[in-house]
Amino acid sequence: MMGRGGGSGMVKALGLLGFMLVASLWTVGAESADEFDVRQHLSTTTSYAAGNSIRYGDETVESTPEGCVPVHINLVARHGSRRPTKKRIAELEKFAERLRVLAKGAAEAQNESTISPPAWISDWKSPWSDKQIGGELLPKGEEEHYDLAQRYKIKYPEIFSEEYHPDVYPIIATQVGRSAASSVAFGMGMFAGQGTLGPAKQRAFSVITDSKGHDIHLRFHDTCIAYKESKKLRKPKVAGWQKHVYDTVAERVKGRYGMAVTIDDVTSLWLLCKNEASLLDVVDQACDFFTPEEVELLEWADDLEMHYLKGYGESLNYRMGVPLLGDVVDTMDRAMAADQSHKVVEKARLRFAHAETIIPFSCLLGLFLEGNDFKEVQSEKALEAPIMPPHHRLWRAALVAPFAANTALVLHKCPADDGAGVKYLVQALHNEKPVIMPACNGTYFCPIETFKERVVAPHMKHSYESLCTPQVVHKPVHQSFLGKVFSIPSHLFRWLFSSAPGQGTCHSGL
């Protein structure tokens, strides 16, 4: 369970890390060693199929209340599986030579207590070395979104049976190739058969994008200056915590294979493992260097970063997403008003973005919390880090934000309790599975009034501008009398020839 604070709990967890690894007695979460699948433990590099196969909760889903009909969907989705970024491709290319050095050193250091390293490391070449551009959507990512659309279309025929029109099914993507391409793949899956283009009878549809520097709805992580400054200050501390994990795993790998691996080698091996397993379904090369226990620790280290820099570890991480949450409520209000007047209404708002979008959105809804932590979140308090393996935890990037992760809010029209009129209920889905928003009294179907009051309102106390505009705090400067006298010409010169503001110290204004 998570709770308030973060620093002291983290120190205690890291203090126990060495002992737990030496003992090596834990089970792998809820999995036995025989059923452990590394593809479900790759943090945000996890494929959609692997992430969606992770079991959580009691798997018991409340049936739709009698007489209820879905009338509108708000969808927020991450792009599908993509090629490693240009930076990561360069890192892996460089690591190929390092692997050969490690192999040679291990061959010379072999003894009775070590295992021979696998032969493949002597001549391994990066499968992405011929790619000059990184980060683009892969065919696998296209299929993830095409298939996702097909399943949504089957699940909600009441919503997706209309003829396509941009006002009925607005599709919105960030101005990044992999997100825009994901939206196109989804649209092709959703509207196949409605047109005259090609054997699949495709039709053209529009995708709306906003410029990267002004997209406060889907790229708030890039437009919120206060968040960027805060993140820059917090990153070194997170990296320090992660270093303890990498150092411990490096010592174990070194002892097992007689390889002189460093912390940097472990991070590169882990990067290679994640990309091989997720994108290529190769689990018997880089991933084989680590035991299941070590994989869980490396996953936990990645999830620490997600928690502190993108999730519940700092309230600004998700509060900056209030424009998106506000837009969701506005679309619901318009849908209800149009439904009451029997006008043609927007049926679904389909958004395609990034992990940095869907993680904060999940936090705004209070998903994957345990106990009474949602009260802490509504009070804008930071939560402690996700609990360390082998203990079970809900806050896992493989579950929250794998490739093609998607969160949907489905608005249902239902008969009113008194039999006269109608009422509206909100159902949350994450990766197509119904989930409970804790603020909704433990039910899968939340009355719209409760949703607005208990889920939305606590986050709308501050505007995006007040949250994201850094404040300038001027520090008093004590000068001698002569210093003040001689500073007058300097200030006058600057006033005449420059419009720059006075010096100050920027704070995030939290």
pLDDT surpassing 90 at residue 31 = no
| Whether residue 434 sits in one domain with residue 294 | no
pLDDT at site 2: 45
| Inside any domain, residue 427 | yes
| Whether residue 450 sits in one domain with residue 487 | no
What residue numbers bound the domain in which 344 lies? 39-83+136-222+322-464
pLDDT surpassing 70 at residue 16 = no
| Inside any domain, residue 12 | no
| Inside any domain, residue 98 | yes
The H-assigned helical ranges of 379-431 are 397-400
The H-assigned helical ranges of 24-136 are 48-52, 86-108
| Whether residue 380 sits in one domain with residue 345 | yes
pLDDT surpassing 70 at residue 29 = no
pLDDT at site 98: 94
| Inside any domain, residue 11 | no
> For residues 448 and 332, is the Cβ–Cβ distance under 8 A?
yes
Number of domains in the chain: 3
Q: What is the chain's mean pLDDT, rounded? A: 87
pLDDT surpassing 50 at residue 494 = no
| Inside any domain, residue 198 | yes
At 475 the three-state DSSP class reads coil
Average confidence (pLDDT) over 4-31? 47
Q: Which of 264, 281, 310 is the last residue of a domain?
A: 310
pLDDT surpassing 70 at residue 32 = no
pLDDT surpassing 50 at residue 509 = no
User: Does 323 sit behind a cis peptide bond, omega within 30 degrees of 0 on the bond before it?
Assistant: no
Beta strands 433-435 and 505-507: pairing type? unpaired
Average confidence (pLDDT) over 370-376? 82
| Whether residue 94 sits in one domain with residue 216 | no
Give the CATH number, domain containing residue 355: 3.40.50.1240
Read off the tokens for 219.
């790229």
| Whether residue 275 sits in one domain with residue 373 | no
d(CA 43, CA 22): 24
Write out pLDDT tens, residues 283-310.
999 999 999 999 999 999 999 999 999 9
pLDDT at site 113: 79
pLDDT surpassing 60 at residue 13 = no
| Whether residue 362 sits in one domain with residue 485 | no
pLDDT at site 7: 58
Q: Which of 310, 338, 372 is the last residue of a domain?
A: 310
| Whether residue 268 sits in one domain with residue 186 | no
Least confident of 46-50, 107-111, 217-221, 390-394: 107-111
| Whether residue 204 sits in one domain with residue 339 | yes
pLDDT at site 59: 65
| Whether residue 427 sits in one domain with residue 304 | no
Average confidence (pLDDT) over 28-49? 81
Q: Kindly state the percentage of the chain with pLDDT values over 90.
A: 71
Higher pLDDT among residues 14 and 133, named by residue: 133
At 430 the three-state DSSP class reads strand
Q: How far is the CA of 238 from the CAs of 11, 26, 184, 321, 339, in angstroms?
A: 12, 25, 36, 22, 48
| Whether residue 106 sits in one domain with residue 146 | no
| Inside any domain, residue 454 | yes
Q: Give the predicted TM-score (pTM) of the model.
A: 0.86
* Burial (CB count <10 Å: 0-12, 13-18, 19+), residue 507: middle
| Inside any domain, residue 368 | yes
pLDDT surpassing 50 at residue 137 = yes
> For residues 341 and 266, is the Cβ–Cβ distance under 8 A?
no
Higher pLDDT among residues 31 and 341, named by residue: 341
pLDDT surpassing 50 at residue 180 = yes
pLDDT at site 117: 86
| Whether residue 189 sits in one domain with residue 48 | yes
Q: How far is the CA of 485 from the CAs of 439, 474, 476, 479, 501, in angstroms?
A: 61, 21, 17, 10, 21
Write out pLDDT tens, residues 429-450.
999 999 999 999 889 999 999 9
| Inside any domain, residue 20 | no
pLDDT at site 315: 95
| Whether residue 442 sits in one domain with residue 336 | yes
Q: Which of 286, 310, 334 is the last residue of a domain?
A: 310
